[in-house]
Structure 1
Amino acid sequence: MPAIQRRTFLGAAAAGAATLALPARAQWAGKNITLLVASAPGGTTDISARMLAEPLGRILKANVVVENRAGGNGNIAGQAVARANPDGTTLLVQYSGYQAITPLVQPVAGFDPGRDLKPIGHLIDAPQVMVVRSTFPANTFQEFLAYVKANPGKVNYASSGNGALQHVTTELLKDLTQTQMTHIPYRGTGPALTDLLAGNVDLTITTPPPLLPHIKAGKLKALMTTGKTRLPVLPDVPTATETGVALVASSWFAVYGPASLPADLQDRLSAAVRQVVETAEFKRKAEEQGAKAIPMTPAELAALGTKERATWERIVKLANIKAD
């Protein structure tokens, strides 16, 4: 019986085992694998890539390096991976905003991450935290809403740029609570956070890593999180749902390859990424960042991307969000 016919008779589990048993390590042994990150060092995307790189290299017997290639609202790094040799040596560690929101606010002719990037594996999910400046006249989320409703349009919020997840999440909050706030876009989370700490803006909503030191130091007040459950690193901060607002929104970070990556290489890389994400060490590091390690199959990751794009498309249209 020809090999291709024999393969069709293997059960899914047996096929997966066969895929892993032989060439997963040999395929990349001694080679260099580049994880492209579409942001500057220090952000959550960069952190998750570096959490992955060393253990992934051990599994694949390869030299895995992280390369930061920021710009174009994620499109520069995304296009580089889409055009890369489909041998699994150039991969993208992608932020959900660039995967699901950027195509809505800053489309690039001839490139769509949902079409031109092949899902490999999910890394971490990081709910966002809403923080206000230390001098803001509210200490709870309910007090915050009362103040905003009493002062329509006078409260301003910072984001890392038009179309960023911080932007669309706050617009969703405005829609759900029927409040008015003014958007102040910055070119990155760093500048936005600097102005917030200086008291020049009132609030921001973003992932925990850059906020935690300032919350613990009392320089920012955390009023709510956007996850389904409370964050272990901020156990006293309620979720939006607990406060009566049905807002659940997370940033997620995942690995993609070129769309032309062969299915067998996709399966091997996916299995290796999953092996890393399921380790106690990776889970511990994720929790320290206020995130959760969540492995996914390529099909599950693809479905997540499709769902997220549909979710945010309504808000992008409602708020008439345009890229910078």
Structure 2
Amino acid sequence: MHKPQRRLAALSLAMLAAWPVLAAAQGPNGYPSKPITLIVPTAPGGTTDIAARMLAEPLGRALGQTVVVDNRGGASGGIAAVAVKRAEPDGYTLLMQYSGYHVITPNVSKQTPQWEAKDLQAVANVLSAPQVIVVREGLPVKTLAELVAYAKANPGKLSYASSGNGSLQHVTGAMLVQQTGIEMTHVPYKGTGPALQDLLGGQVDLTFGTPPPFMSFIQSGKLRALAVTGKARLPSLPNVPTAAEAGLPQLDATSWFAVFAPAKTPQPVIDKLSGEIAKVMATPAFKQKAAEQGAEAHFLGPQQLADYSKAELTRWGSVVKASKIEAD
């Protein structure tokens, strides 16, 4: 072998030897080397959107690439889920999933689903939050007991908004109807944002939802919080009783918001994303912002999230069956 060839061969061997170190520094296969799209299955303004925007900027800094939030509401989360399902499984298209769409919608759909849980790969849970029952400013009720009494005195008059058929708000409303015997009309929207606007405008009377989008309106008096559907009062709403304290111990509903990727995304990419999300969520700034919104920064890794979402699918399936909820 001539000297130039020997030098080239030696250089090639040196580069091969250095590659594992270089790859480790850059992440799996240099990931990420371009911007990442985080698709949100709701319109702007709801907790799913808030969770995505809370995560996108610090995660982008940690990864060295921009994380772009892309809202694609509609079809009870189906439009967003199908977009992620069909995306290349390379870690550049992710979903900020809402638990209602992930574990309730599959239980209420009469049609062959365009996506299934197996089409999405768990990355990390980001936020958990109970529902809060809020009513419009002019509704003459101040407690959950007064709401039930008003509904019984005015059968069929009350309307409640949700972020869509099969959403957790829808199921929570159905649970309230089932447990109290009242009558209410369900009005579905394409996300919490539009539902909130109509609630503020007086087109609907009440809704159920995670606290983040409601907090400023509760504090200003434009909305009235009657109860929290979790097991404990929220530090951000200390004067709002739990549903159990208000006389309905079985009205227990908590939402979670988690990142998923297309199925068959390489495990090193999943682990890279999960690890960086965990670091972001561990910061005091992220935890404080979550708490201020009435939510909890609750991290679950890929396997934990996969197991938890599977158990939730079974649990909420039982609730849907008992409440006799069906999709349109």
Q: Would you say 1:209 and 2:201 are equivalent positions? A: no
Contact in 2 for aligned 1:26/1:60 (Cα 8 Å): no
Q: Please point out which of 96, 113, 117 is paired with 1:114.
A: 117
Matches within 5 A, 1:1-324: 24=27, 27-106=30-109, 109=112, 111-246=114-249, 247-324=251-328
Distance in 2, Cα, partners of 1:166 & 1:110: 21
**CA separation in 2, counterparts of 1:107 and 1:269?**
34
Tell me the secondary structure at the aligned position of residue 184 of structure 1: strand
In 1, Cα distance between equivalents of 2:33 and 2:157:
58
CA distance in 2, matches of 1:135, 1:43: 23
- State the aligned residue count: 306
SS at match of 1:162: coil
Change (3 A) 1:177 1:23: farther
Q: Which has the larger radius of gyration?
A: 2
Q: TM-score, normalised by structure 2?
A: 0.84
Q: Within 1, Cα distance between the matches of 2:183 and 2:111? A: 31
Question: Per-residue deviation at 1:167?
Answer: 0.9
Q: Secondary structure at the match of 1:238?
A: coil
Q: Tell whether the 8 Å contact from 1:28 to 1:61 is kept in structure 2 after alignment.
A: no
- Tell me the secondary structure at the aligned position of residue 294 of structure 1: strand
1:41 to 1:158, Cα distance in 2 relative to 1, 3 A = closer
Q: 1:242 to 1:251 in 2, by over 3 A?
A: same
Residues 227 and 240 in structure 2, CA contact (< 8 A), matched pair in contact too: yes
> Hey, what's the Cα distance between the residues in 2 that align with 1:115 and 1:290?
31
| Structure 1, gaps ≥5 residues long | 1-17
User: Structure 1 residues 267 and 169 mapped into 2: Cα distance closer, same or farther (>3 Å)?
Assistant: same
Query: 2: CA distance between counterparts of 1:288 and 1:172?
Result: 28
Secondary structure of the equivalent of 1:283?
helix
Post-superposition offset of 1:77: 1.7
Q: Is the 8 A contact 1:35 1:93 kept in 2?
A: yes
> What's the CA shift for 1:107?
6.4
Bigger drift between 27-36 and 108-117 goes to 108-117
Residue type at the aligned position of 1:49: A
* Distance in 2 between residues matched to 1:125 and 1:240, nearest whole Å: 18
* Alignment match, 1:5: none
Q: What's the secondary structure of 1:55's corresponding residue?
A: helix
Q: When the two structures are superposed, what TM-score results if normalisation uses the length of structure 1?
A: 0.85
Structure 1 counterpart of 2:315, one-letter code: T
Taking the aligned partners of 2:144 and 2:166, their CA distance within structure 1 comes to: 24
